[in-house]
Amino acid sequence: MLESMLLLLLALGGSGAPAASPALTPGQPPVMTGVWRGMWVSPGNTQPIPVEAVLASGKESGSLVGVVVSGVGPARRIARLSGRYDGGGAQLSLPSGGAVRLSADGRGRLIGEVTGGSAAGFGPGAGALELTRVHR
């Protein structure tokens, strides 16, 4: 159910056109669009937090938009992100000034670093993400 909702948001949120995605050329970051699922590990938390994300190309060339869901049950949080591809991946802004920095690890996964997550009401605070593509 959640994946269907996220796919709908992906279709509505960005252009969805492959031509709007950055080209896959040497020295450029890989396209990060699609549905991703994984874990968020935050210093001080003993248990990883589940994360689901839908990333889509934005309307401007090189931009990226997304919806990220973290946690389960009453601790579940949803954030809409926007950002840009940059030298080694992508930088996305969280509400209230937080940020998510994503980069591909070469094995079909996204590795991320979250800063200011608690100020954005998105999660427990700073931490590391590891996401695996579920759907392109």
Instruction: Give domain limits for the chain.
Output: 2-14+32-135
| pLDDT for the residue numbered 117 | 62
* pLDDT beyond 70 at 4: no
Mean pLDDT of the chain: 76
| CB crowding 120-133: b at 16 or more within 10 Å, else e | bebbbbebebbbeb
Q: What is the pTM of this model?
A: 0.74
Q: Yes or no: is domain 2-14+32-135 CATH 2.40.160.90?
A: yes
Query: What is the DSSP secondary-structure string of 23-37?
Result: P--TTSPPP--EEEE
